[in-house]
Amino acid sequence: MHMGEPSVWGSWTLTPIVWALMAVASAGYLGAATRRPGWPVLRTLSWVAAMLFLVVAVNSSLAMFGHHLFWAHMVIHLVMITVVPLPLVLAQPIRLALEVLPDAAAARVRAVLTARPTRLLTSPVVGVPLYAAVLVMTHLTGFQQAMTAHMWVHDLELVLYLVSGYLLLLPLIGGEFSGHDLSYPIRFFALLLAMGPDTLVGVTLMMTDHQQAPGFADSRMGWPPGGLANPDALADQSAAGAIMWFGGDGLMMTLLVIVAWQWIKAEGSRADDRPARRASWIESARRQSLGAGEGASDVDLDDDDAALERYNAMLARLNERQSR
């Protein structure tokens, strides 16, 4: 391997601040999960998976190659905006926090989460446009070139992708308390809308005949030419567009399947509850016909002689009317 070219296994990086934040968050989540009896194991595994994907995106050799190859950087984009947020949402850290916090603290957190600004920020009205804006503005402007020249822009980009992906999926995939109760058709339609920016960015990069970010090719000066490790600049850009188009739409299709499955499951639960709701309605009508008020819902009318007499009298009147 050429001296200036990073290796696959020898290019892992250290990010002490990120690791410290991940350690604190993971300790808090796992500690809360142990204090909450019956907390589903799959949610805990989802949290662990999110942390592992985050390490891959930030610290692995993929992250190192992402500084030099547009297509590798695009893979990191998809990991940060979809692959990491999805298990984070499925881990339901907000629900876990509300269940283990003292009542007073949980009430304060719930008040913040249900406040109007929070509800707006975590709604698809903000989540979908934010997702679209982040994808378009970071790919079809000079942002990528600035990212290759300034590390702080690179770090800001990763935060933008993680936050925008989480805010998009929180009300659409998550089942935890987030101040929303969106219907499944709305969730499905919002994800369909979110596929548009993936396609737009991918197709545009594939069809553009000039370099959006020459810094990628410039950073590979001295590398042996050819292959995925050092493609032509426009070929690298076209590959990045293909990854965004097919990879981004593929991930969105996966999310659509998840929402469809949740939708079918919810409809099945409603179908199972229909007989009970119908019986409850019939019982309510019977109580009203016998003169029992809403406050008498706990009284067994069949054991009440007066109620039985009124019921029999009503049947006799109905029979008399039918005879006439």
Query: Which residues have CB under 8 Å from 126's CB, separation 6+?
Result: 120, 167
Residue 10 lies in a domain: no
Using one digit for the tens of pLDDT, what is the confidence trace for 273-302? 555 555 555 555 555 555 544 444 444 444
Same structural domain, 235 and 318? no
In terms of domains, do 258 and 314 share one?
A: no
Which pTM value belongs to this model? 0.79
Report residues of the chain scoring pLDDT below 50: 1-3, 292-302
Per the domain annotation, does 213 fall within a domain? yes
Q: What range defines the domain where residue 144 resides?
A: 16-275
- pLDDT tens by residue, 228-241: 778 888 999 999 99
- The answer to the question of residue 286 being in a domain is no
In a domain, residue 152? The reply is yes
Residue 105 and residue 62: Cα distance in Å, rounded?
A: 41
> Residue length, the chain?
324
- Specify the pLDDT at position 306: 66
Flag whether 40 is in a domain.
yes
Mark whether 137 and 221 lie in a shared domain. yes
Same domain, 55 and 202: yes
- Residue where the block lists tokens 């909450």: 36
pLDDT at 88: 95
In the prediction, which pLDDT does 8 show?
A: 54
- Looking at the DSSP bridge assignments, the partners of residue 226 are 230
Number of domains, the chain? 2
Which of 189, 164, 193, 195 shows the shortest CA–CA distance to 88? 164
Last residue of a domain, one of 275, 292, 312: 275
